[in-house]
Amino acid sequence: MYKNNKRSWAEPFKIKMVEPLFMTTIKDRLRYIEEAGYNTFLLRSKDVYIDLLTDSGTSAMSDRQWAGMMLGDEAYAGSENFYHFEAAVQKFYGYKHVIPTHQGRGAEHLLSRILIKKGDFIPGNMYFTTTRLHQELAGGTFVDVIIDEAHDPESEFKFKGNIDLQKLKDLIESKGADKIPYICVATTVNMAGGQPISLQNLKEVRQMADVYGIDIVHDMTRVAENAYMIQQHETGYEKKSVAEIVREICSLTDHATMSAKKDALVNIGGFLATNKDDVYTEASNWVVVYEGLHTYGGLAGRDMEAMAIGIAESVQDDHIRARIGQVHYLGQRLIDFNVPVVMPLGTHGIFLDAKRILPHVSQENYPAQTLAAELYLDSGVRSMERGIVSAGRNEVTGKHNYPKLELVRLTIPRRVYTQAHMDVVAESVQAVYENRAAVKGLEMVYEPKYLRFFQARFRKL
Ligand code: F0G
């Protein structure tokens, strides 16, 4: 009742069903991490206490989403749930056409195949692993045109997801607009630490794209989180709702790929959206080959129903404020412990700066991979490497890509863990940080050809 802006971000829900967690002993964990080749992707989930590997497909669905699952119309063609889902995409995101896919990379595959020709260049605000690989498999070369601040974990710039317009212009001028099938704009930028792009910047990118006649593809995996950061930090947007900002972001782009496993609060699902009829026609043909008919795209009817409801829930101000509030709560605890983290705090997780935490481990000995393994050993908390292992090798030279950022991501699933879980995580990170001097690096003993971070195996030095 009384006006007070200092109220906490408490969750706008209460818990109706619980899933037990199991603790392991240090003796168990020593064995499990060795058996997993020091790769947290290869651990069994039953051996993990608090799982911060990813926010992808790990969210808790609402009672309404679960109720929607019971309304699955499992017809092969023309499922009623598809039409609900299509209506949700049109209402909340404003794209004209939508094609469901089993997850984000399914949409990336289709769109890359349709838009990219061999020898093309695709500028983007930093790479994402699957996005870049699909661009490369289609014959293109990804070019990073994000602002320099994004590569500096200590820069406090609020919109580190912004595109450097000069870098973009130079690329277009040097390669020629006909060699640039589209500009890839991600909201938010995962690999930079969950950093948002501003609407001001996106409008400028749109203007430049129009001058050269180039399309914009929107990787809208975490668009609501980006919209919340705009509402909090961009002048002129303080009074706009997250839903309104999301619509405005989408309206500045031509096509979109979405992993609904993040923002949209489902355990599986994604889509490709486009405003262009010809791209839609081609995509609805290719989707039959790789995913399934254009009214299910590899999903069950019930999955599309849950996605339709999740999209509506994801843009509610209360939801997103609590979601990012929890992430920032963890971040602030780590800052209070003086642990080096990527600044400003991101939206889907907190990113530990492994280069500063383990300065004695050289990048060839995988500091972030090492740190993730140490954290698991300490407490059973599972995190993910986002450094040199994730960056892979240069297609042409075969050498490691050496990213400036060597990070461990503590990714927070939506609506899953409590504040007490965040405290346990912070205390474990602090313990590892205090004992960091004794930590030794790793060597890689098995390296898969594509997206090596998922399945690579390591040995302790
Ligand atoms: N784009 C972004 C920005 C992503 O973060 C992801 C997935 C994808 C595309 C691909 O979507 O997994 O549904 O095929 N990111 C997950 C993560 C895997 O853990 O960050 P997908």
The continuous run of DSSP H or E covering 259 comes out as: strand 255-259
For 56, which DSSP code? S
- Compute, in angstroms, the gap from residue 324 CA to the centroid of ligand 1: 18
CA end-to-end span of the chain: 60
Q: Is the pLDDT of residue 395 over 90?
A: no
Could you say which of 40, 58, 101, 129 is catalytic?
Answer: 129
Query: What would the DSSP string read from start to end of 267-309?
Result: SS-EEEEES-HHHHHHHHHHHHHHT--TTTTT--HHHHHHHHH
Enter the tokens of residue 395. 């297609």
Rounded mean pLDDT, 242-255? 98
- Give the per-residue pLDDT at 1: 63
Please list, in sequence order, all residues whose beta carbon lies within 8 angstroms of the beta carbon of residue 233, skipping any fewer than 6 positions away. 158, 159
Cα(210) to centroid(ligand 1), Å: 28
Residue 18, token pair as written in the block: 């619980």
Cα–Cα dist 420/405, whole Å: 29
| The pair of three-digit structure tokens given for residue 60, joined into one six-digit string | 């808790």
Residue 187 annotated among the catalytic residues of the structure:
no
Residue ranges and CATH numbers for the domains of the chain are 26-55+317-460 (3.90.1150.10), 63-314 (3.40.640.10)
- The model's confidence at residue 8, banded by pLDDT at 50, 70 and 90, is confident
State residue 267 phi and psi, 5-degree precision: -85, -20
Taking CA atoms only, the protein residue closest to ligand 1 atom 8 is 104
Q: Residue 10's closest CA among 285, 329, 270?
A: 329
> HSE of 228 in the Cβ direction (CA atoms, 13 Å)?
23
**Which residue CA neighbors atom 19 of ligand 1 most closely?**
54
Pocket test for ligand 1, best of 52, 111, 130 (most atoms within 8 A of CB): 130
**219 flagged as catalytic:** yes
Q: Max CA-CA distance within the chain?
A: 64
DSSP state of 78: S
pLDDT band at 7 (very low <50, low <70, confident <90, very high): confident
117 CA distance to ligand 1 middle (Å):
23
CB–CB of 410/383 below 8 Å? yes
CA dihedral 244, 258, 305, 286 (to 10 degrees): 130
Confidence of residue 216 (pLDDT cuts 50, 70, 90): very high
Encoded tokens for 109: 């595959």
User: Is 129 one of the catalytic residues?
Assistant: yes
Q: How far is residue 374's CA from residue 356's CA, in Å, rounded to a whole number?
A: 15
Establish whether 73 is a catalytic residue: no
Q: How far is CA 225 from CA 49, 54, 205, 242, 379, in A?
A: 26, 15, 20, 9, 29
Would you call 149 helix, strand, or coil by DSSP? helix
Q: Which residue has the higher pLDDT, 2 or 268?
A: 268
Catalytic residue among 64, 76, 210, 459: 76
Cα of 190 to ligand 1 centre, how many Å?
A: 8
pLDDT score of 4 more than 70: no
- Percent helix, strand, coil in the chain (nearest 5)? 45, 15, 40
Which is it for strands 384-386 and 407-411: parallel, antiparallel or unpaired? antiparallel
How many other C-beta atoms can be found within 10 angstroms of the C-beta atom of residue 415? Answer: 20
Which residue has tokens 């971040």?
331
Describe the crossing of helices 317-336 and 301-314 by its angle, rounded to 10 degrees. Answer: 70
Q: Mark whether 128 is an active-site residue.
A: yes
C-alpha dihedral (15, 347, 457, 432), degrees to nearest 10: -80
What pLDDT does 100 receive? 98
Residue written as tokens 């009672």?
63
Strand ranges, E, within 284-402: 349-353, 381-382, 384-386
- Out of 38, 85, 128, 271, which one is annotated catalytic? 128
Q: How far apart are CA 119 and CA 307, in angstroms?
A: 36
Number of neighbouring beta carbons within 10 Å of residue 448: 11
For ligand 1, what atom is nearest to the CA of residue 188? 3
Averaged confidence pLDDT in the chain? 97
| Structure-block tokens of residue 252 | 């500045």
What's the pLDDT tens digit per position in 302-340?
999 999 999 999 999 999 999 999 999 999 999 999 999
Instruction: Give the containing element (helix H, strand E) for 229.
Output: helix 223-233
Burial class from Cβ neighbours inside 10 Å (0-12, 13-18, 19+) for residue 217 reads: buried
List all residues whose CB is within 6 A of at least one atom of ligand 1. 54, 56, 103-105, 128, 130-131, 186, 190, 219, 221, 259, 261, 270
Q: Sorting pLDDT into bands at 50, 70 and 90, what band is 13?
A: very high
Asked if the model's pLDDT at residue 389 lies above 90, the reply is: yes
Q: 419 vs 6, 10, 313, 323, 375, CA distance in Å?
A: 18, 9, 21, 11, 19
Q: Clarify whether 453 is annotated catalytic.
A: yes
Ligand 1 atom with the shortest distance to the CA of 105: 14
Whole-number Å distance, alpha carbon 258 to ligand 1 midpoint, is: 9
Helix (H/G/I), strand (E/B), else coil: 217: strand
Q: For a pocket test of ligand 1, which of 262, 348, 384 has the largest count of ligand atoms closer than 8 A to its C-beta?
A: 262
Give the relative orientation of helices 277-290 and 104-115 as an angle to the nearest 10 degrees. 120
For 457, phi then psi, to 5°, come to -120, 150
Instruction: State in Å: Cα 259 to ligand 1 middle.
Output: 6
| pLDDT of residue 372 exceeding 90 | yes
262: confidence class by pLDDT, cuts 50, 70, 90:
very high
Q: Give me ligand 1 centre to Cα 222, in Å.
A: 9
What is residue 6's predicted lDDT score, i.e. its pLDDT?
75
pTM: 0.96
Count CA within 13 A, CB hemisphere, residue 210. Answer: 8
pLDDT recorded at residue 9: 82
Q: Which atom of ligand 1 lies nearest, measured to the CA of 259?
A: 13
Catalytic residue list contains 382:
no
Six token digits for residue 63:
């009672």
**pLDDT at site 147:** 98
Position 170 scores a pLDDT of 98
Alpha carbon distance 11, 318 (integer Å): 8
Catalytic residue among 182, 329, 366, 453: 453
